[in-house]
Amino acid sequence: MKTYDFNQQYISKIEQEVALSTENVQVHYGKSHAIFDASLDFPRFQITSLIGASGSGKSTYLRCLNRMNDRIAQVDGKILYRNTDINSKTINVYEVRRHIGMVFQRPNPFAKSIRENILFALKNNGINDKKELQERLETSLRDAALWDEVKDDLDKSALALSGGQQQRLCIARSIAMHPDILLLDEPASALDPISTSKIEETLKLLSKSYTIIIVTHNMQQASRISDYTAFFHMGHIIEYNQTKNIFTAPEIKATEDYISGDFG
Amino acid sequence: MKTYDFNQQYISKIEQEVALSTENVQVHYGKSHAIFDASLDFPRFQITSLIGASGSGKSTYLRCLNRMNDRIAQVDGKILYRNTDINSKTINVYEVRRHIGMVFQRPNPFAKSIRENILFALKNNGINDKKELQERLETSLRDAALWDEVKDDLDKSALALSGGQQQRLCIARSIAMHPDILLLDEPASALDPISTSKIEETLKLLSKSYTIIIVTHNMQQASRISDYTAFFHMGHIIEYNQTKNIFTAPEIKATEDYISGDFG
Amino acid sequence: MNAKKSDKLATGMIYGLVGIVVSILVALLGYILYNGVPDINWHFLTSEAQSFSAGGGVRDQLFNSLYLLVLALIISFPIALGAGIYLSEYAKDNWVTDIIRTSIEVLSSLPSVVVGLFGYLLLVIQLNMGFSILAGAIALTFFNLPLLTRNIEESLRSVPDLQREAGTSLGLSGWKTITKIILPMALPGILTGLILCSGRIFGEAAALIYTAGQSAPSVDYGNWNLFTETSFLNPMRPAETLAVHIWKVNTESVTPDSSAISSASSAVLIIVILIFNLGARYLGNKLFKKMTASK
Amino acid sequence: SNSSSATKSSSSEVSGKITAVGSTALQPLVEKAAGDFQKDNSKINITVQGGGSGTGLSQVQDGSVKVGNSDIFAEQKDGIDAKKLVDHKVAVVGMAPVVNKDAGVKNVTMDQLKQIFTGKITNWKDLGGKDEKITVVNRAEGSGTRATFESAVLGGEKAIKSQEQDSNGTVQKIVSTTPGAISYLAFSYINDKVEALSIDDVKATDDNVADNKWKIWSYEHMYTKGDPKDATKKFIEYMKSDDVQKKLVKDMGYISTNDMKVQKDSKGTVSDK
Amino acid sequence: MDDIQTRLQKSSRATRQDYFGKVICYSCIGLIILLVACILYFIASKGLATFTKNGVNFWNFLTQSDWKPGDVDKYGNPQVGALPMIVTSFSVTILAALLATPFAIGTAIFMTEIANKRGAKFLQPVIELLVGIPSVVYGFIGLSLIVPFIRGIFGGTGFGILSGTLVLFVMVLPTITSLSVDSLKSVPMHYRQASLALGATRWQTIYKVILKAAAPGLLTAVIFGMARAFGEALAVQMVIGNAILMPKNLISPASTLTSKLTTEIGNTVMGTLPNNALWSLALVLLFMSLLFNLIVRFIGRRGNIKNER
Ligand SMILES: Nc1ncnc2c1ncn2[C@@H]1O[C@H](COP(=O)(O)OP(=O)(O)OP(=O)(O)O)[C@@H](O)[C@H]1O
Ligand SMILES: Nc1ncnc2c1ncn2[C@@H]1O[C@H](COP(=O)(O)OP(=O)(O)OP(=O)(O)O)[C@@H](O)[C@H]1O
Ligand SMILES: [Mg+2]
Ligand SMILES: [Mg+2]
């Protein structure tokens, strides 16, 4: 692996309204430094993808954005959401996570029925209206391209689904909460192309009213769906720009190498 | 999802030497029928990819090939390897698995050091020569495109690696055994493009002396690396042919639909 | 083929070990049941114990054992649950936790006599509870707590972290995640622990001799007012349990049929535990299926 | 209620709660008597518990319980101020050496018995029995039974270190199953599974105890702190009444104090009654 | 928008729930700690009185073998030597654990790795059942079966460390087994898969992967068994002979700390030397179990460090 000069980076300014931004975020796992000085603005109602080699810190960074790293890692710096630094100690983290939903790399449905998986958090959130629940159940499953496959088995255990089905269920579960921002960590890495493209369509649709940040290994996916792309390299954000710029004319050598290492 | 006529299938005969073949393999999970009458021949020193929608039974079928389903599912039918039905009760399954290695969808390294992960099975196998072990350690890690990243940390716990690194370690672990046939269940779904392409190159190289069967969701991957492709649909093998035929001129509608659902 | 041979050898060895264990178990249970079951009859189960004439039964002792068990579990389970959750979910990996763990383990290795005497001095004398079911139940709690706590902690830990992440990422509070998602998944394990503890409570004698007492004054099974002296539910009355009864009959009894009573009581005890085990297991499975909606 | 109620001794108005704790040997007798007593005195609630003579004495001395049951004189216990306690002797218990049946010995002299328990005679053949090692099973240090036996038999010498057991039931079982074993038991625990020895050709019977021909016996005591009052007084009177002494005491294998022709004090001195 | 902003700053139902949960859990753990502290204080104050109030020399207590708290020796010192009981307690515990561990772990392996569902389903309740058999019953079975058996084979009286060991072996077997089963079960399924896929035999998988991953849990299981053996009184008391003699061999009568404690405690008067001396035995028991725990903790930690690096 080549080594690059990390001072050489290109972070473009966002012209649009910013939904979420980080300022000098540092992450340490114990003594090991995993994210260095990450400062990014995520534009509202856009899809931003985070790309980079395995181990470059994409997941780590993403998990900071809704405070999922709280107990695992030491996160310093500012994360601004609605003019509030949500990385501060006094913040209500539950409220943060309610507005900033997350879907993980490995599917993690609850050991409950499919229905309960979707409705559990909603009910906890005080939504008790039967009709509303039913409606959210159906639309979220539809949006995650799972409805047709499970509509007759809603009371079956979610654990009996295949890996791909489970992952789509997790996406549905997150969507059902109507979050403001949706974080996805390689959500499609376990999905077949049909489901993947459905999910991508969904994300595209959702981006009309949601801000979406997605980690992906799939260059095509990144270029196809995202408006902005950030390139991670060994814990540093090396380049951040509109996706079309990144993929057609990267400013930095490291980015170019990574993208052209790809197999278009 | 459309329904298709499962009688309508196209399984091409293999002209070359056959390394492994199945005859009327049926798999049941309890009462649910997961694989119907799967009969395939896998050509020697070629890469065969298994594609199909999520839940279509690819993993289930693959796991039969080295008896990994033994305690989970009921597998009927014949699996022929070197003129022996390795699905018979009297077979030494350990020997089977030694010659037919497997890499899983989810990385599953042992909670041991990186070195120990690779050497574990070798030592079990009675290889104790220090030099030989060291050599296999290095080449297997190199082949899995992991050597550069871990060569200084061989005694670090494998669990401290990122997901992608872990998966590459698992591949290395399998390669180190010098198996005859290598089964891979979406081995690259957690990998970044650079590692993926390195793995693909490795597989290509390995296919000179190994028979490789790989489950993948990635159409490009299938078309890029595999010589033969089998298309699974709801537990049935619908079409099996040389990869170029499958991707350019599928015989069956279901296959065509699936492939064109893709985003080339 | 060396590996295969050693596999065969080891498997054979394990079968051998298990064979010995099973024969010990079967012989032991067989011995107790063979000696005891012939003397069990309806009269034995429904009549009072006699102090020096033959023909006594174990009605009160049996009831007392059950009542004490329920009471002890009611007291100890919630505490153990809280402590178990603390250890698996909240405790940080530092010296404070180390001290907590060590003290819990020390508690579990205290000899029952010591716990009994401590209970006697603290509960019976100091807190003026007298020899009573309540004092007995609290003394049993001392035993139970470490076992239950440990078991609950481990059951909770065995639930994958993916589940915690799922709950957390949906904005659920840690508490909700634990109680509604992690706990149901850990339930079968917790239940096993509960059964094991119940077994110990049932068989415990030494700690009860000094706390719940060793006499069973006759009580009125029709009196549901637990604040009256004669009520069978009164937690402040002394109560000899089945295990204590066995001990007493074996050591100081002058009844002519003491050995028959002792074997029959042992058999009854084991049968009750058996019923309890199977019942709890059945219930646990049902509960698990219901809570996780798996089929 | 105060002293006035104590005078109307037969009225059932007396009420109260009595806890009697202590000697496990005495427990069944008191428990049974208490049960009968409460049938006529429904307002009195009696709890009888074991715990050992030491426990009984220390609890009654502390005032934690009303009655301390003991099979040893309070004077013989360290740490008990006997002056504060009032002794109520409710029964007499005789004890006899017992041996395993195949020892082949039925009678010993007092001196031989002493030599066995001090470890000077170690084989039954020295006593005309089988060639078999003598296994001494003593009673727990500090127990009333042991104190009685040692003061009657050992005359101040120390018993050898040997097995110790604390309950009649266990001793009976051990002696009956261990070849060559010797120990001693209260009369009520002697059955045909063990051989009760005669001493100097005197048989272990109630009658021989009554006139002190049989030397190994002691009282069962119920101690109160100061003179008993109210319910306690009534109950102890009941324990000494003919109802209990003539029937219950005999049924349980004890000897009634009324039948005794002699008395013993805490130092072991026997005098005529 | 402002609404959300304020909600981010304010506590919500979830924070309150979490707070509530924390309070509950911390109180529970606090209660347990308090309890342990109470017991420790109680035993320590009574047990130390032997040395502080009654003037017994602590070193003599640990190293001498004459136990006659009621008497004094020729120099006028109380004879309180606990060595025989300490040695015996250690012997029965360690022997019982040594004997039970292979059987227990073998059974646990059988139940989790080898047996089909039905086999495990049969064994589990049987083993749990055994935990519930009262000590007295074990004691009497020991007295009726094991003591005569030992007497028949080795001669002597049959009472002694060997009989105690055998009884304890049966008593701790279920404890160690069920705890071992738990710890084996908690080894992730994918370890087994990975190992099997590499062609490792079942035994290799068990021995090199599963047992290793479960080692701390297994160690804990054994320690728990030892703790139970250590504290066991009623059963041991019936078969060990209760003679305060230095054990010369495995079949001569001996006495453990607990058996002495149980036999005598009822006959002594609270606050006197004979009573305090017994509490000193309890204190020794406590101290030894503390020591065991610390050793395990130490071993466990070293194991972990090795794994992580
Ligand atoms: N829980 C953890 N404890 C310690 N180190 C960790 C932990 N998780 C990740 N790391 C380390 O932090 C670095 C970044 O890991 P991260 O998982 O964020 O990478 P990634 O970009 O998501 O990789 P991948 O594409 O493989 O998922 C890696 O070097 C990894 O070893
Ligand atoms: N252990 C199991 N028990 C019961 N049913 C199972 C099990 N594993 C898989 N199945 C079922 O068998 C069918 C085939 O599953 P399989 O995992 O083989 O699909 P797949 O093609 O590998 O899907 P994916 O691409 O999502 O991995 C699915 O319907 C699934 O629900
Ligand atoms: Mg990642
Ligand atoms: Mg699969």
**In the prediction, which pLDDT does C8 show?**
87
pLDDT, tens digit, 9 for 90 and up, residues E64-110: 888 887 777 667 677 888 899 999 998 999 999 999 999 999 999 99
d(CA B188, nearest CA chain A) in Å: 9
Number of separate domains in chain A: 1
- Tell me how far apart the alpha carbons of residues E158 and E244 are, in angstroms, rounded to a whole number: 16
Q: Which of A162, A169, A195 best tests ligand 2's pocket when mutated (most atoms within 8 Å of CB)?
A: A162
Residues with Cβ within 6 A of ligand 2?
A 160-164, 192; B 29, 32, 34, 52, 54-60, 72
CA E195/CA B122 separation, integer angstroms: 11
Residue B253 has pLDDT above 70, yes or no: yes
Mean pLDDT of C241-260: 83
User: What CATH number does residue B209 fall under?
Assistant: 3.40.50.300
Average pLDDT over residues A112-116: 89
**Helix (H) or strand (E) run with residue C238 in it:** none
Distance, in Å, from the CA atom of E139 to the CA atom of A150, rounded to the nearest integer, reads 59
Lowest-confidence region among A152-166, C136-150, D125-139, E149-163: A152-166
Contact of C51 with chain D, judged by CB distance below 8 Å, is answered with yes
pLDDT of residue C34: 92
Tell me which residue has tokens 């080549």: A2
A118-172 pLDDT, tens digit per residue, is: 998 888 888 889 999 999 999 999 887 789 889 898 988 888 887 678 888 998 9
Alpha-helix residue ranges (DSSP H) falling in E12-116? 13-52, 58-63, 83-109
- D270 contacts chain E (CB < 8 A): no
Pocket of ligand 1 (CB under 6 A): A 29, 34, 52, 54-60, 72; B 160-164, 192
Q: Could you give the percent of chain A with pLDDT greater than 90?
A: 36
CA distances, C5 to each of A55, E113, E203 (Å): 42, 18, 10
Q: Do C166 and A108 touch (CB under 8 A)?
A: yes
Question: Which protein residue's CA is at the shortest distance from atom 3 of ligand 2?
Answer: B29
Q: What is the mean pLDDT of residues C215-232?
A: 75
Q: How far is the CA of A161 from the centre of ligand 2 (A)?
A: 7
Whether residue C190 has pLDDT greater than 70: yes
Of A37, A46, A39, A58, the closest CA to residue A19 belongs to A46
In eight-state DSSP terms, residue A12 is P
A114, part of any domain: yes
Which band of pLDDT confidence, cut at 50, 70 and 90, is reported for residue A6? Answer: low
Which residue is it, tokens 């009709």? A131
Q: Do B121 and E208 touch (CB under 8 A)?
A: no
Q: Looking at the domain assignment, is residue A230 inside a domain?
A: yes
Chains B–E, number of C-beta pairs less than 8 Å apart: 72
Where b means 16+ CB within 10 Å and e means fewer, D96-132 reads bbbbbeebbbeebeeebbbbbbbeebeebeebebeeb
Q: What is the pLDDT of residue B47?
A: 95
CB contact under 8 A, E144 and D52: no
**E166, C234 contact by CB (below 8 A):** no
> Domain limits of chain E?
83-307
Among D25, D171, D13, D42, residue whose Cα is nearest residue D100: D171
- Cβ-Cβ pairs closer than 8 A, A with C, add up to 77
pLDDT value, residue B5: 66
Atom of ligand 1 nearest to the CA of A58: 21
pLDDT of residue D13: 64
Between A212-216, B256-260, C10-14, D262-266, the lowest mean confidence (pLDDT) is in B256-260
Q: Are strands D195-196 and D181-186 parallel, antiparallel or unpaired?
A: unpaired
Indicate if the pLDDT at residue A86 is higher than 50: yes
C279, pLDDT greater than 50:
yes
Looking at residue B6, its pLDDT comes to: 64
Q: What is the DSSP string of D140-179?
A: PTT-HHHHHHHHHHTTTPPPPS-EEE--HHHHHHHHHHST
pLDDT of residue A53: 81
Q: Could you write out the DSSP letters of every residue in C12-65?
A: HHHHHHHHHHHHHHHHHHHHHHHHHGGG--HHHHHS---SSSS----HHHHHHH
Q: Determine the pLDDT at residue D86.
A: 92
Q: How far is A1 from chain C (nearest CA, A)?
A: 32
Give me the pLDDT at residue B181, please.
92
Q: What is the mean pLDDT of residues A53-58?
A: 85
Ligand 4 centroid distance, CA of A54 (Å): 22
Q: Which of B29, B32, B90, B92 to mutate to test the interface with C (most CBs of C within 10 A)?
A: B92
pLDDT for the residue numbered D223: 94
User: Could you tell me the pLDDT band of residue C1, with boundaries at 50, 70 and 90?
Assistant: low
| 199-218 in chain E: CB under 8 A from chain C | 200-204, 206-207, 217
Residues 94-113 (A) with a CB less than 8 A from some CB of C:
94-99, 101-104, 106, 108-113
- Is the CB of E18 inside 8 Å of chain C's CB atoms? yes
Residue of B nearest to E303 (CA): B112
- Give residue-wise pLDDT tens across range C115-171: 888 888 888 888 888 888 999 999 999 888 888 898 899 889 888 888 888 888 888
Question: What is the percent of chain C with per-residue pLDDT over 70, rounded to a whole number?
Answer: 97
Nearest to A10 by CA among A259, A261, A237: A237
The ipTM value here is 0.76
For the segment A240-253, the average pLDDT, to the nearest whole number, is 89
Choose between C294 and A242: higher pLDDT: A242
Band (pLDDT 50/70/90 cuts) for residue B190 is: low
pLDDT of residue D181: 92
pLDDT surpassing 80 at residue C2: no
Whether E154 shows a pLDDT value over 90: the answer reads: no
E200 vs C contacts (CB less than 8 Å): 3
Give the ligand whose atoms come closest to the C-alpha of residue B53.
2
C31: CB partners within 8 A, 6+ apart: E141, E145
What percentage of chain A carries pLDDT values higher than 70?
Answer: 94
Nearest to A91 among E8, E14, E18 (CB): E8
User: What residue numbers bound the domain in which A140 lies?
Assistant: 10-260
pLDDT over 50 at A263, yes or no: no
* pLDDT of amino acid D4: 42
Residue E54 scores a pLDDT above 90: no
pLDDT value for E68: 80
pLDDT of residue E309: 33
User: SS3 of B214, please?
Assistant: strand
Residue C16 has a pLDDT of 93
Question: Would B80 be classed as within a structural domain?
Answer: yes
Which residue of E lies nearest to A180 if distances are taken between CA atoms? E4
**Residues of B whose CB is below 8 A from E200:** 94, 120-121, 124
Q: Is it the case that residue C295 has pLDDT exceeding 50? A: no
**Is pLDDT larger for residue C255 or for residue D229?**
D229
Among protein residues, the one with the nearest Cα to ligand 1's atom 16 is A57
pLDDT at A3: 53
Contact of B100 with C9, CB cutoff 8 Å: no
C-alpha span between A219 and B192 (Å, rounded): 9
What is the pLDDT averaged over residues B125-138? 89
In a domain? residue B113: yes
pLDDT at B114 (0 to 100): 92
Is the distance from CB of E97 to CB of E171 less than 8 angstroms?
no
Residue A5 lies in a domain: no
Task: Ligand 1, residue A29: give the atom nearest the CA.
Answer: 4
Residues of B in contact with E209 (CB under 8 A): 110, 120
Contact criterion met (CB below 8 Å) for D173 and D181: no
B101 neighbourhood in chain E, CB within 8 Å: 197-199
Q: Whose CA is nearest to atom 5 of ligand 2?
A: B29
> b/e string for C10-28 if b means 16 or more Cβ within 10 A?
bbeebeebbeebbeebeeb
A112 min Cα distance to partner chain C (Å): 4
Using pLDDT thresholds of 50, 70 and 90, give the confidence band for residue E299: low
Which one, of B95, B86, B113, B94, lies nearest residue B173 by Cα?
A: B113
Min mean pLDDT across A76-85, C64-73, D189-198, E215-224 is at E215-224
D58 contacts chain E (CB < 8 A):
yes
CA-based nearest residue to C278, from C199, C220, C216, C161: C199
The pTM (predicted TM-score) of the whole model is 0.80
Protein residue closest via CA to atom 20 of ligand 1: A55
Q: What is the pLDDT of residue C81?
A: 93
The rounded mean pLDDT for chain D is: 86
Report the pLDDT value the prediction gives residue E74, as an integer from 0 to 100: 67
pLDDT digits (tens, 9 = 90+) for A24-46: 999 999 888 999 999 999 999 99
Which of C162, C171, C294 has the CB atom closest to A97's CB atom?
Answer: C171
- Identify the helix (H) or strand (E) that includes residue C152: helix C133-157
* CB within 8 Å: B106 and E213: no
Within 8 A of A171 by CB-CB distance, chain C residues are none
pLDDT of residue E24: 92
What is the pLDDT, as a whole number, of residue C227? Answer: 74
Residue of chain D with shortest Cα separation from E245 = D161
D12, pLDDT greater than 60: no
By 3-state DSSP, what share of chain B in percent is helix, strand and coil, each rounded to 5? 35, 25, 40
Supply the residue whose CA is at minimum distance from atom 29 of ligand 1: A55
pLDDT over threshold 90, residue B65: yes
- Burial label for D208, CB within 10 Å (0-12, 13-18, 19+), is middle
pLDDT band at A87 (very low <50, low <70, confident <90, very high): very high
Domain E83-307 -> CATH class: mainly alpha
Tell me the mean pLDDT in the region A76-89. Answer: 91
Domains and CATH numbers, chain C: 40-291 (1.10.3720.10)
- Looking at beta carbons, which residues of chain D come within 8 Å of E74? none
Q: Flag the least confident range among A188-192, C269-273, E210-214.
A: A188-192
Q: Using the predicted structure, report yes or no on whether residue D6 has a pLDDT greater than 50.
A: no
Quote the minimal CA–CA distance from A68 to chain E in Å: 16
Residue A141 to residues A68, A185, A225, Cα–Cα distance (Å): 25, 19, 21
Chain E residue numbers with beta carbons less than 8 Å from the beta carbon of D53 are 266-267
pLDDT of residue E301: 67
Three-class SS state of A90: coil
Token pair recorded at residue C33: 């049941």
The pick from B60, B185, B258 for probing ligand 2's pocket by mutation, whose C-beta has the most ligand atoms within 8 angstroms, reads: B60
CB < 8 Å from E in window 84-143 of D: 135, 140-143
**Per-residue model confidence (pLDDT) at position B104:** 84
Burial class of residue E79 (count of CB atoms within 10 Å of its CB; 0-12, 13-18, 19+): middle
CB neighbour list of residue B204: distance below 8 Å, 6 or more residues apart: B47, B225
